[in-house]
Chains A and B, each alone.
Chain A
Amino acid sequence: MASLTPQVTPGTAPGAAPAPAPSRPGRPRRPRVWRGAVLLLAAVYFLVPLIASFVFTVKAPGQGFSLDAYGQIFSAEGFGGSLLLSLGLGVATIVLVLLLTLPAVVAVRLGAPRLRPVLEVVCTLPLVVPPITFVAGISTVLRWGPDYLATTPLYQTMIAVQNPDFPVVLVLAYVVLALPFAYRSLDAGLGAIDVRTLSEAARNLGASWPHVLLRVIIPNMRSAMASASFLTLALVLGEFTIARLLSFETFPNWIYRISGSQAQVSVAVSVFSLLITWLLLLALSSAGARQRSGS
């Protein structure tokens, strides 16, 4: 770049030399117009669908304003069941992903730094592999299971895992999908505290390793764990691909099913679910802000 500068300056110098003085007072104007136009366009593009969806749900044909569609959400067939299923799957996924990731992240920081690249690759792979290809693999395993494993105890496990009341197979798949997010937030949270000093101090005072993890490290990582949990919950509540292709009726699949017969209700639920995501993320960012001001 140093070689470019001389080429540029001679050509522009005659014109540019007087330019700065008159351009300075006018300078802030142009960016402001440009910025206003960009922000206005963005506001139109992002707000119109939200407003239009809301209008769509409250405008009953020939009746004017009505909030009926929102009332119908709760009485619609399948709403409670599918929402409870999704929430249950979310909680199970959060518990499992934290149980698996937290010890691994702590171990890599404290004693096994050579495992870090391995862990990083393992926790990036699910981002590279699209969910639909993952479910293609899972459904093939589940389809082949009966052919090859019919005589082994694994067969019973495979049946149990697909119990439609609580499909454990979805929890397992969601843990894989949530790994990258959980790993990143936990690793960042751990980076913000001095784990080595804290754990050595606790060990010198006679605490066992589980004790160190439960009473020293985890309380210091509350906000990182909360952020990992929120991201996981948002992911599970919105996941459609895997649940649909394995034919389990989770919340998004229920919205999809009712859209054919009750268009207004399905849009109302969509608006509603966006609102829930807003609240989750607002809680998340305010928790993060509190953590930052606290430390």
Chain B
Amino acid sequence: MRDSRTRSKSRWAAVPLLVFVVIVFGVPMLVLLGGTFTKEGTLSTANLTESLQGAYLTALLGSVKISALVAVLGGVLGTFLAQAVVTSRFRALREAVLTASGVLANFGGVPLAFAWIATLGNSGVVTTTLGLGQHGWSLYNFWGLTLVYLYFSIPLQVLTVVPALDGLRPQWREAAQNNGASTWQFWRYVGIPVLTPALLGGVVLLFGGAFSAYATAQAMVGSTVPLVTLKIADALTGNVLIGHENVALALSLDMIVVAGLVMAVYLPLQRRSARWLR
């Protein structure tokens, strides 16, 4: 009896958190949904249609394109870096790279944009030293933004993949070698299949990070690269025709759907990779 009393009481301790999330997170999301489907006071899908046309569609596709590129590139490069660190005999190197990754994965936003502008921007140190300006170099385009996004994506991939690489037992490799497998065969039939959940999980995280990035893009390229986050911010700050304010909400809903679909891939993968990390 005492036990059941404790049980029902302890449930109440979680209530403040749930109520808080319902009000602070749930209400804005409901309003977002409601606003998307209302235009001038009546129920309509006009906002959603508009958000999937013309410049808005270009921006949405632009965001998906850069995020996919960053996710794949960052995923591959991050995995190579992680493998180089994991197989190294120097313990200090490993610690240094992991700590640096922890910092750099969090180094986003405005400071990141400014660090790159100071490096490779029009009057950046490397640009002026090497005279890249004469060769038509510009940081303020799609590829420049990709280069900058990789700066926090690669470390994130390192952090995600290192535990999985640690879980790759040396015995498996020895067993494969004893059976006459080449390095390539080991990776093709043992290494990659075991690592796949962790690798894909990392790629999904990178996609999410690049997809929702706003600060870096805003501080770096302004609006020269069409991105959905920039379009939403534009529309929210009143940079749209009267009566079209709710397009920002429709675009947000598009974003949530894309991010949700990608995350839906991630969650089961995370559960699968957790099995190998034990």
Contacts and interface: CB of A to CB of B under 8 A. Distances in A.
B263 A127 contact: yes
B195 interface: no
B256 A278 contact: no
B11 A111 contact: yes
B122 to A, nearest CB: 11
Nearest to B180: A16
B14 A107 contact: yes
Q: A56, A139, A267 — which one has the most chain B CB atoms within 10 A of its CB?
A: A56
Contacts of A136: 32, 232, 236, 248-249, 252
B201 interface: no
Contact of B236 (A1, A129, A141, A245): A245
A122 interface: yes
Contacts of B115: 49-50, 52-53, 267, 270-271, 274
A223 interface: no
A46 B104 contact: yes
Interface in B104-129: 104, 106-112, 114-120, 124-126
Interface string A10-28: 0011001100100000000
Interface string A100-116: 11011011101110010
Given A35-B84, A132-B252, A132-B255, A46 B100 contact: yes
Interface stretch (A78-86, A87-95, A171-179): A171-179
B109 A238 contact: yes
B189 interface: yes
A209 B256 CA distance: 40
Contacts, number: 253
A156 interface: no
Contacts of A244: 215, 218, 233
A164 interface: no
Most buried by B among A17, A53, A135: A53
A252 B110 contact: yes
B18 interface: yes
Interface in A200-255: 209, 234, 238-241, 244-245, 252, 255
Nearest to A116: B14
A103 B16 contact: yes
A122 B256 contact: no
Interface in B69-127: 80-81, 83-85, 87-88, 93, 99-100, 102-104, 106-112, 114-120, 124-126
Contacts of A59: 125
Nearest to A241: B214
A131 interface: yes
Nearest to B232: A132
A184 B118 CA distance: 36
Given A38-B80, A111-B11, A132-B233, A259 B249 contact: no
A115 B181 contact: no
A176 B25 contact: yes
Interface stretch (B2-10, B42-50, B52-60, B161-169): B2-10
Interface in A164-202: 172-173, 175-176, 179
Contacts of B182: 12, 16
Contacts of A60: none
Contacts of B21: 122, 125, 176, 179
A124 B204 CA distance: 14
Interface string B170-203: 0000000101111001000110010000000000
Interface string B13-53: 11011101100110111011001000000000000000000
B237 interface: yes
A133 interface: yes
A67 interface: no
A205 B13 CA distance: 22
Contacts of B149: none
B140 to A, nearest CB: 14
Contact of A122 (B18, B29, B93, B150): B18
Given A100-B17, A131-B214, A133-B32, A8 B185 contact: yes
A215 to B, nearest CB: 17
Contact of B181 (A8, A48, A278): A8
Nearest to A199: B6
Contacts of A176: 21, 24-25
Contacts of B259: 128-130
8 contacts: A31-B87, A39-B84, A59-B125, A103-B17, A140-B249, A141-B28, A252-B215, A270-B114
